[in-house]
Amino acid sequence: MIKSIYILFMTLGLAVSGCGLNDDSEIIIAIDTEFPGGNIKIDSIRGAEVYLRPDLRGNGTDWFYWYFAATSATNDSVKFIFNAPGCLGIRGPAVSLDGGLTWNWLTESEMRANEFSYLLEAGREIRFSMGMPYVEADFRRFIKPYATHPSVRLDTLCITPKGRVTERLTISPGTGRPGKHRILLTARHHACEMMTNYLLEGLVSAVLSDDPQMIALRNNSEFWIIPFMDKDGVEQGDQGKNRLPHDHNRDYSGESIYCSTAALRQQTPIWASRGLDFALDLHCPRLTGGKYEETIYMLGLEDPDIQRQQYAFLRQLIAAGTGPLRLDTDTSFLPFGVSWNTSENYSEGRNFSSWAASLPGTRMASTLEAPYATHKNITVTPQNLRLLGKDIASGLYRFLNIGEHTAR
């Protein structure tokens, strides 16, 4: 794509002069999305200003996910202006100088504009995104050191319509005997909600650590972890949220139309024949717009017994928390029937947590929302999301009374 866009700018006269150059000089800006997760539409380039918007392919509504690389032929300060609302969060864009391996927010201060500027160095590719992208290559790098761990097995939940593998990570006692508890963790039902994968990394690292509590947890449990429920959407750079005719997290009633949800619905009741002890689906909220966009919280379910277990887990998570992203009983739970968490919001179909809660024997099922950029004025980063994942593992240990089981 980079070559086609470069030629488009030249042939349409969109290469520009100025920005500190001689009048007969041109600023040539190449935009690239030809990599996993890439997404942008260029409306125009005027001088050193690039007008752009998210690519909404396959979506039924506006949404805010975008991810692109920019390279200038000369040293130029370039302004990127979005022709769609709500495309930048409070910390501005995330920026990567190493091809998407590591990311930082452009600003630590509050930012509410829908545009940003960046000094592009001649010939150096800089990647920008509304969040901190996480694709299959990131997961493969993360899990590689654990490949020989006796408790780890990586297999396939399903093969997507585009021929990609939807990975399933199993963590079990590693002794040939089944674990007492069945724990199901999922992420990326909405392809754009990438920050949750960093949280999963922290949880997995904790569970596979040499900490005595974590050894006890994995010796008494079997985990199924699905890092990419919408694998094609993640790799293609789709929005995923509000996908037509409905998205992956509204595909748990009737006959599923997506391979990952169909496979999960078919295989989970066999694997967890005595019921799920713990099911958690990880999401990110909207990028901007309200009080629930800048805090971590759990979503209550309609079933009062399940909701009591949700509160019980939240209390254990709060008690176990040591990282900077702390939860509390006042702001970290949105009960069913409050704000947007109502039956009307699920009219297109049942979501994961409601389905998991309906399985015979399920003890606790929930959705956890983790913001893209800010939690109670604390900047969200991959590092502190991993620490939150560690806290969730510790809270799970307490919730399941693993210490009590170990002592018997």
Task: Return the pLDDT at 405.
Answer: 44
Q: How many CA atoms lie within 13 A of 348 on its CB side?
A: 17
* 144-190 confidence digits (pLDDT tens): 999 999 999 999 999 999 999 999 999 999 777 778 999 999 999 99
What confidence tier does 110 reach under pLDDT thresholds 50, 70, 90?
Answer: confident
What's the rounded Cα separation, in Å, for the pair 40 and 83?
A: 11
* Residue 138 reports pLDDT greater than 80: yes
What confidence tier does 406 reach under pLDDT thresholds 50, 70, 90?
Answer: very low
What's the rounded Cα separation, in Å, for the pair 387 and 191?
A: 23
Q: What is the pLDDT of the chain when averaged over all its residues? A: 91
8 Å CB contact between 219 and 173: yes
Q: Where in the chain is the domain with CATH 2.60.40.3120?
A: 2-129
* Residue 20 reports pLDDT greater than 50: no
* 218-267 confidence digits (pLDDT tens): 999 999 999 999 999 999 999 999 999 999 999 999 999 999 999 999 99
Q: What is the CATH number of domain 2-129?
A: 2.60.40.3120
Query: What angle (nearest 5°) sits at the alpha carbon of residue 322, between those of residues 319 and 324?
Result: 120
* 44-65 confidence digits (pLDDT tens): 999 899 999 999 999 989 999 9
What confidence tier does 403 reach under pLDDT thresholds 50, 70, 90?
Answer: low
Which backbone phi and psi does 243 adopt, to 5 degrees? -60, 145
Task: Return the pLDDT at 282.
Answer: 98
Q: Where in the chain is the domain with CATH 3.40.630.10?
A: 136-407
What's the rounded Cα separation, in Å, for the pair 56 and 380?
A: 26
SS (H, E, C) the chain: CHHHHHHHHHHCCCCECCCCCCCCCCECEEEECCCCCCECEEEEEECCEEEEECCCCCECCCCCCCEEEEEECCCEEEEEEECCCCCCECCECEEECCCCCCCEECCCCCCCCCEEEEEECECCCEEEECCCCCCHHHHHHHHHHHCCCCCEEEEEEEECCCCCEEEEEEECCCCCCCCCEEEEEEECCCCCCCHHHHHHHHHHHHHCCCCHHHHHHHHCEEEEEECCCCHHHHHHCCCCCCECCCCHHHCCCCCCCCHHHHHHHHHHHHHCCCCCCEEEEEECCCCCCCHHHCCCEEECCCCHHHHHHHHHHHHHHHHHCCCCCCCCCCCCEECCCECCECHHHHCCCCCHHHHHHHCCCCCCEEEEECCCCEECCEECCHHHHHHHHHHHHHHHHHHCCHHHHHHC
Supply the pTM of this predicted model: 0.92
* 338: Cβ contacts below 8 Å, ≥ 6 apart: 300
Mean pLDDT in residue range 369-381: 95
Q: What is the CATH number of domain 136-407?
A: 3.40.630.10
* Residue whose C-alpha is closest to residue 77's, from 127, 125, 24, 20: 20
Task: Return the pLDDT at 26.
Answer: 64
Query: What angle (nearest 5°) sits at the alpha carbon of residue 383, between those of residues 325 and 86?
Result: 70
What's the rounded Cα separation, in Å, for the pair 76 and 16?
A: 12
Mean pLDDT in residue range 345-354: 94
* Residue 289 reports pLDDT greater than 90: no
* 31-46 confidence digits (pLDDT tens): 999 999 999 999 999 9
* Residue 395 reports pLDDT greater than 50: yes
* 37: Cβ contacts below 8 Å, ≥ 6 apart: 67, 100, 129, 133, 135, 194, 234, 235, 237
Which backbone phi and psi does 278 adopt, to 5 degrees? -160, 125
Other Cβ atoms less than 10 A from the Cβ of 178: the count is 12
